[in-house]
Amino acid sequence: MAKHPPIRAGIGGWTFEPWRGGVFYPEKWPQKRELEYAASKLTAIEVNGTYYSGFKPDTFTKWRDETPDGFVFALKASRYCTNRKVLAEAGPSIEKFVDQGITELGDKLGPILWQFMATKKFDPGDVAAFLKLLPAERDGVGLRHAVQVRHESFAVPEFVAMCRAANVAIVYARSDDYPAIGDVTADFVYARYETAVADEPTGYADVDLDGIAATARTWATGGEPAGLPYVTQDAPKAPRDTFLFFISGAKERNPAAAQALIARLGE
């Protein structure tokens, strides 16, 4: 098997009542140990709570200490950074977010996800100014950034080029509601699969999970997977860290989807 950087797969958050009672967490598993359990079965988690509120440094330290070596947290950036008409004015909110103590995660700090409003259209000047506000490091810890755009106006070469110049990943999001962009623009890949269905035990058909695994390996080994919606296809051919999260859809199925993908990848 070809050597490549890590492929990590996970879910959004870890506190969801339908995952309890034997669905994901074992019967009578204590809620205070749910992160510990989830991190023993998955290789990454996208934290959505950071989108809604801030946390104290001790919380990030606790998350770090409750998870095994090699586990990674992706953090969804505060809505106050991205739910605004003018992104270029987000500087103070961005600083507040990155300074709340996220670097306590150390090498378990994965990418930061900046999700734009679905109504936000591509404004070249505004988006370029926003990308310049994203810090490359904090407290000696390198920061990686991914942007999820949900409006078709972003599917243009100018947007791809500015993200590539900034080493900011465009999130590949497979969704029933929003258009996707498959272009690789950073030295890592961030993908969100938002289409789990309830009538599949693992959220996705076996053949679909096989395809997702093949796509992940292609990303990790430096290629561009066939069949994705590209604006351009001129990304540098280099191995990349790869992060895949099963989000939304039939959410109760997402842990099973992530575990099935991890089993396929042998990670």
Judge whether 1 lies within some domain: no
- Spatial CB neighbours of 128, under 8 Å, sequence gap ≥ 6: 162
Task: Give the span between the Cα atoms of 16 and 20, in whole angstroms.
Answer: 7
Distances from the Cα of 7 to the Cα of 71, 178, 263, angstroms? 11, 25, 12
User: Can you give the pLDDT at residue 167?
Assistant: 97
**Cα separation of the two ends of the chain:** 12
2 located within any domain: no
* pLDDT tens digits along 72-98: 999 999 999 999 999 999 999 999 999
Asked whether residue 212 is domain-assigned, the answer is yes
Domain assignment of residue 24, given as a range: 7-265
Give the pLDDT mean for 140-167.
97
Average pLDDT, stretch 184-202? 97
Q: Which two tokens mark 165? A: 């110049």
CATH of the domain at 137: 3.20.20.410
Alpha-carbon radius of gyration of the chain: 18
Q: Could you read off the pLDDT of 31-69 as tens digits, one per residue?
A: 999 999 999 999 999 999 999 999 999 999 999 999 999
Average pLDDT, the chain: 96
Residue 72 is assigned to a structural domain of this protein: yes
Residue 138 placed within a domain: yes
Q: Look at residue 1 and tell me whether its pLDDT is greater than 50.
A: no
pTM over 0.85: yes
With a cut of 60, say whether residue 222 has pLDDT above it. yes
Q: What is the pLDDT of residues 241-262, one digit of tens each?
A: 999 999 999 999 999 999 999 9
Q: Mind giving me the DSSP string for 227-265? A: TS--S---------EEEEEE-SSSGGGHHHHHHHHHHHH
In a domain, 116, yes or no: yes
For residue 127, being part of any structural domain is answered with yes
The total of structural domains in the chain comes to: 1
Residue 82 inside a domain? The answer is yes
List C-alpha distances in Å: 198 to 16, 202, 213, 253, 255: 16, 8, 20, 7, 12
Give the model's pLDDT for residue 169. 98
